[in-house]
Amino acid sequence: MGQKVLAMINGENDLQLVAVFNPVAKSQDPADYDLDSSVKVYNDYSQIDVDADIWIDFSIPSAVFDNTKFAIEHNIKPVIGTSGMSEDQIAELKKLADDKKLGGIIASNFGVSAVLMMKFAQVAAKYFDHSEILEFHHEDKLDAPSGTAMNTAKLIHDVQQKDQVNNKNEQDKIGARGGDYHGIKIHAVRLPGFVADEEVVFGGQGETLTIKQSTTDRNSFMKGVRIAITEVMKRDELVVGLEKII
């Protein structure tokens, strides 16, 4: 994702890459990463001294909270695509940014099709009392369930305002029924061949509804990242979810 973001920035006339940060980078020579000589390379927070408007983060779950907090504290608007933060961490970051009137976004998914899927699921949640979520990702994804799946479950629960009821006599001996968010079952698949797919299945008396989204190329996320970059420059608060601005 980082490589896709770099390519997108370099392809836009109104965007300029001024610096990159990676704590495990051994070299600080931009030429070693095929970057322009004007780009600064940092491997420690203490080194960062740059005039930047936007901090784009596609890192790892264990680093994203500290990265985002650093950006906000230094008045750099965060555009965060890394999932894995807790609700408490996101709430802390939102308060920090909102108190500073700093625009930003934390999005579980920058795919426009995924965002529309979540919006459609919100609409369906008004008419169905039961739903399950299946998400499919590549074998190297670190967090499970995905941020998109968790956000979808939260959006459904926000609409329904009650826990979904499951069979109380059910016997799951090996965890086959998946994770549980307020009664919404979430199933995470990790296999080679997938990039990022999700299905939301709603069940009602005599009918089912499946809303499905598939991502076959990470380049598709760049449309959402570009929308987010433009939007956060106009805002004075941290937005959680690309669906809030599409």
> Can you say how many angstroms the Cα of residue 223 is from the centroid of all Cα atoms in its chain?
14
Neighbour count for residue 148 (Cβ, 10 Å)? 26
137 is catalytic: yes
Catalytic residue among 40, 94, 119, 137: 137
Burial 64-77 (b: 16+ CB within 10 A, else e): bbebbbebbeeebb
101 is catalytic: no
Catalytic residue among 141, 154, 157, 185: 141
Q: How far, in Å, CA of 57 to CA of 83, rounded?
A: 10
Which residues are the active-site residues?
Answer: 137, 141
